[in-house]
Amino acid sequence: MNSGENQESHQSQPQIHQAQPFISKLKPTLYILSFSVLILAVSLSIPKTNYYKLYQLKATLSSNSHPNFLHKFLRFIRPISNQNGPNPISIVTNSSPYCVLWMAPFLSGGGYSSEAWSYILALNSYVKKKNLRFRLSIEQHGDLESLEFWEGLPLEMRNLAIELYETKCRLNETIVVCHSEPGAWYPPLFQTLPCPPTGYGRFKVVIGRTMFETDRVNAEHVKRCNRMDFVWVPTQFHVNSFVQSGVDPLKVVKIVQPVDLEFFDPGKYEPLYLSSVGTLVLGSANENLSLGRPFVFLSIFKWEYRKGWDVLLRSYLKEFSGADDIALYLLTNPYHSDRDFGNKIVEYVEGSDLEKPVNGWARVYVIDDHIAQVDLPRLYKAADAFVLPSRGEGWGRPIVEAMAMSLPVIATNWSGQTEYLTEENSYPLPVDRMSKVNEGPFKGHSWAEPSVHKLQFLMRHVMTDPEKAKVKGRQAREDMMSMFSPDIVAQIVTKNIQQIIDNKV
């Protein structure tokens, strides 16, 4: 769940599988035999009502030609054992006939992946504690699988993935949650396992879980939302924008996101050594500065215009110089682009009207290597403040994770994050104006233009008054605990599911 993107952009369309026959890619007889045995084994282990799991496995295998892929992917369809002791995996034996099949990009990373995992972890714990009337099952949907992401998950999460993947459900007793952008819903606009997998009408209820980062929902997605029995959105901002766009108000339900406060607990971790992961792309080390570490701003985002990386760089480089004992670390990953972020930053600065200070540029570092999920809390712990001046967010998971880690946060005061940003727990960044989206599938929609000048002021204020900033950071964690703890959100989700069961029995 590289929260890096975290985050939840609908402007990013999942990559399309390359439909080349898997066997034609593998010349050695051994790989052909391995594939045949694998498919046979999986076929025998999956009940007929779950035939779509076999379809997805075939699609996954057919899109990967690396010789080690078969061996690695077996770790998703076979139990992961500890080095010592019994196999920890078992099929759920809850006597309830009802099942919640949660379909999401569990193996992909990114915003929907991290959000879906947060729900599953919360629900799994809550369902077992309360012995509720439904079981959980999961299915990969909506984007390509990433072995790198899978291998970076904690062992407990991988074990849970296998357990829930193997949970058996009967179609007419199953509530399906399609957790993705509406273009992936049945019939999908790109190649992915459809959700619901057999179309509408065969399941008890079908729920769409989605969000948008602009001021509206386009007509095609409104139509897809209205096919659903319910549409779950994370904030009041989305309730308003979906209804105003034409989604049936009786279908739209606000279901906030949980944050794993046990995992994102600042008391549990030592800081990550930033020099081991960051590459200096602007500025230089100044020997005249203090020997202690600099004040560190951290930002996590996908490299796209919506995330406001240009606003962040402009504000930071206008406000600070090489004379300031400060550093900005950017954890980012590609968005329909290459990974040459250092050159992109230099080109942006050279092409702008920014004037290089006498003391040189303030330091900017890029982290473009994958940071495993298990190391994310250590990355937050290494920072003094988090900043994300995005033009629009569905929820803003890295913002919430930073707040759970007691970091002072500066974030744009518009869209999804208005659900939790306050003057007491953060530094809400004012918006100068609204602007039109100029390209992509949401061209013509509007989003926010955060204030460059106010961001300069807030970043300087946080740096010069760190004690006040820490007070806000501590309040942020308290607010996350009181509003978005896994137990609280699991109760909200469970209440909605139980109402569905009661009304549909």
How buried is residue 234: exposed, middle or buried, by Cβ count under 10 Å (0-12/13-18/19+)?
A: buried
For residue 199, the one-letter residue type is: G
Cα gap 440→12, rounded to integer Å: 9
Mean per-residue pLDDT, 440-455: 94
The predicted-structure confidence for 95-121, as pLDDT tens digits, reads as follows: 578 999 999 999 998 889 999 999 999
The predicted-structure confidence for 270-319, as pLDDT tens digits, reads as follows: 999 998 999 999 998 764 444 568 999 999 999 999 999 999 999 999 99
Cα–Cα nearest to 176, from 228, 251, 214, 133: 228
Q: Centre a 10 Å sphere on the Cβ of residue 67 and count the other Cβ atoms it contains.
A: 12
Question: Would you call 15 helix, strand, or coil by DSSP?
Answer: coil
Paired with 446 in beta bridges are 436
Query: What are φ and ψ of residue 353, in 5° steps?
Result: -95, 15
The predicted-structure confidence for 367-383, as pLDDT tens digits, reads as follows: 988 898 899 999 999 99
Q: Could you tell me the pLDDT band of residue 462, with boundaries at 50, 70 and 90? A: very high
Residue-level pLDDT at 76: 46
Kindly state the DSSP code that residue 359 receives in the 8-state scheme: T
Cα gap 125→397, rounded to integer Å: 21
Q: Centre a 10 Å sphere on the Cβ of residue 406 and count the other Cβ atoms it contains.
A: 21
Cα gap 8→152, rounded to integer Å: 20
Q: In what order do the strands lie in the sheet with 427-429?
A: 279-282, 363-367, 326-333, 295-302, 385-388, 409-412, 427-429
Which structure tokens are listed for 102?
């949660």
Instruction: Write the CB contacts of 280 (distance below 8 Å, at least 6 apart in sequence).
Output: 363, 364, 365
| Position 185 pLDDT exceeds 60 | yes
**Domains of the chain, earliest start first:** 3-14+81-258+486-504 (3.40.50), 266-483 (3.40.50.2000)
The predicted-structure confidence for 189-211, as pLDDT tens digits, reads as follows: 998 999 999 889 899 999 999 99
Cα gap 439→432, rounded to integer Å: 21
